Amino acid sequence: MTIDLQTLKCGECGSSVLKRTGLNEYTCEHCGSVTLVEDKVSDRLERVLDQVKNEAGRRLAAEEALRQKLMLRKAGIGVAIVLGAVLVFQVVGLLFFKSRGTSDAQRPTVAALVDRTIPTDGVKLGEPRQVLVGSGSSAQPKLLVVARNETGKPLSRASIRAVYYDGDSRLDERSETLPIAVLEPGESAPALIDMPSGKNVTRQELRVQKLSEPYSSVQGPRLAFARARLVQQGERVRLVGRVANDRKDATAIGGIEVLVTLYDDAGQVIGFGHGYGQANELAPGARTSVDVSIARFGRAAAIAAWDYRIGYSTLESSGARTPVRSADRVIRTAGGPENFNPDLRLGTDDLLAEDSERFDDRQLELLPLVDGRNNIQQRLFLGELVNRSTDAVVLAPGGVISRYSGNKFHGTTNIAGLAYLYPGERFPIFLEPEDMERITQTRIEWKPMRRAALPGPRKPMEVKVTGTKAETGSVLLNFSQRFTYKSVEVTGSVKNPGSSIVGKVRLWVSLRDRNGQLTGFKLVDNLPAIAPGESVPFQVNVEQNGRDFASVSTLYQTE
């Protein structure tokens, strides 16, 4: 190539990107052309190229300095505007308050930023214990730690971190927040921290995470249960309680949370649970219930005492919530839980019912059992539960029937499935003991039940039986034995005479012999919703387990 010495550009492509690649040799980095020049020309060309580089560097430096100068000028203008706005605001505020004649004590002050952090050494940790939470193969290893607040200040959502080791080898680390929103000064609270699964933990190091006070809080009366029951069914423990908003200042409250702790006779924590009120907020005079399931560990030790504390917030009309701080809010009770049969279905409302709301279980009677056979000639017994009250409906009746042959216990039968039972009504029950030829006695453990005055909760329906047809069927057992049995096909209809739709009807169809004793029954639970004035038909095949039937009776429920 040739080089234009006037413009210092490549003669082939016009590029100004020239590089010295050898003695008197120059290469164009754009097109790759190579030019050889004389020594004098080469020296002169090198000097010219150096001058060009120096000039370009100077120009770039000047542009960068100008850019930084402009940025500083803009920043200074922005700061001046902000400071001016703040000054104007303060002057206007002072003039406004001065014009209204406010005193110095009433004049607003600018709040300074407050460091809300609290030294972590003010939280004292008890000796950690490894425990199993749950039962059987589902039990999970946890680290139990009890933390005590000795900072002298309330703590918001305090948490603990555990680092686990196998010897000197670090395995894992986990953290857990204490199960109460605000931990008051002097209070203790337990925490269960997850442990590495399937690993050998020989030691752990614990440290309290960053602490702080609640952003806002107010002093207020402590909240206590108007009624509370600690209940145990097998290994399950729960606390049910009723909370009422009895504040005298007509303030609504919400965010109700409960922490329950169990202790053995040595004062060691052997379980705790955390739960919330069923209602999100309580107007003055309103009440709600709480049902807290408690994680139990150390099952070998009996429950000797328990305590609970309730946290809550006041509700502003704007929707803002302010935590309420209460002194001495931990309420302790000596003694263990009430024990109930594990098969009983205990509802919160049933357990918390007042004495005036309870149904007297002495008004329930289990009629004498009727001997019968099923369709493969195995022995069974039929029973009926009767409401002997004349003026009260029993709500959600239930119990556990224990069966005995002589002094030998032969299992239980659970009475369940009813929403209510009206005076004089009979609810049919099957008792099907295995390898038992006779039942000499029964014992019933009733659940706590509520009552309702007539007319009660049921919507009136008209049930008619329009036909019965006796039939005979057969069953082949194990491809070797065939059994015959009797059954009755019952047809009828259910009519809704009311003015509103009935969502669902459950119907028990019972067969009775000539003495009125139960000889078979079946539940019909596939009936559709029924509109006002309409009726739906039903057809059901009922096995006859006792003597020949002579009549059909029905029992229905509506939702």
* Confidence at residue 247, expressed as pLDDT on a 0 to 100 scale: 86
Instruction: Classify residue 78 by its DSSP letter.
Output: H
Contact 431, 402 (CB under 8 A): no
3-state helix, strand, coil in the chain (%, to 5): 15, 45, 40
Tally Cβ neighbours within 10 Å of residue 174. Answer: 16
Contact 278, 257 (CB under 8 A): no
| Percent of the chain clearing pLDDT 90 (strictly above) | 64
Bridge partners, 269 (sequence order):
263
Domains 117-212 and 348-453 share a fold: yes
What is the pLDDT confidence band of residue 83, given thresholds at 50, 70 and 90? low
Contact 184, 149 (CB under 8 A): yes
pLDDT single digits (tens) 349-402: 999 999 999 999 999 999 999 999 988 888 889 999 999 999 999 999 999 999
* Confidence at residue 103, expressed as pLDDT on a 0 to 100 scale: 40
pLDDT single digits (tens) 261-312: 999 999 999 999 999 999 999 999 999 999 999 999 877 789 999 999 999 9
* Confidence at residue 525, expressed as pLDDT on a 0 to 100 scale: 92
* Angstrom distances, CA of residue 555 to CA of 17, 331, 506: 103, 47, 8
* Confidence at residue 410, expressed as pLDDT on a 0 to 100 scale: 83
Cα–Cα distance for residue pair 226/249, rounded to 1 Å: 19
Tell me the average pLDDT of the chain.
Answer: 85
pLDDT at 242 over 90: yes
Architecture of domain 218-339: Sandwich (2.60)
* Confidence at residue 96, expressed as pLDDT on a 0 to 100 scale: 44
* Confidence at residue 106, expressed as pLDDT on a 0 to 100 scale: 39
Cα–Cα distance for residue pair 143/171, rounded to 1 Å: 15
What is the mean predicted confidence (pLDDT) over 434-446? 81
Instruction: Classify residue 358 by its DSSP letter.
Output: B
What is the mean predicted confidence (pLDDT) over 207-216? 92
* Confidence at residue 264, expressed as pLDDT on a 0 to 100 scale: 94
Bridge partners, 395 (sequence order):
420, 450
Cα–Cα distance for residue pair 307/271, rounded to 1 Å: 11
pLDDT at 509 over 80: yes
Least confident range from 104-118, 186-200, 520-534, 539-553: namely 104-118
What is the pLDDT confidence band of residue 171, given thresholds at 50, 70 and 90? very high
* Confidence at residue 334, expressed as pLDDT on a 0 to 100 scale: 96
What is the mean predicted confidence (pLDDT) over 517-522? 96
What is the pLDDT confidence band of residue 249, given thresholds at 50, 70 and 90? confident
* Confidence at residue 411, expressed as pLDDT on a 0 to 100 scale: 86
User: What kind of fold does domain 348-453 have according to CATH?
Assistant: Immunoglobulin-like (2.60.40)
Domain limits, the chain: 117-212, 218-339, 348-453, 462-558
Q: Higher-confidence residue: 61 or 462? A: 462
Query: How far is the first Cα of the chain from the last one, in angstroms, to the nearest whole number?
Result: 101
* Angstrom distances, CA of residue 298 to CA of 138, 178, 190, 419, 474: 16, 20, 14, 37, 54
Q: Does domain 117-212 have CATH number 1.20.120?
A: no
* Confidence at residue 454, expressed as pLDDT on a 0 to 100 scale: 95
* Confidence at residue 186, expressed as pLDDT on a 0 to 100 scale: 95
Q: Tell me the CATH number of domain 462-558, given options 2.60.40.1290, 1.10.1270.20, 3.40.50.300, 2.60.40.10.
A: 2.60.40.10
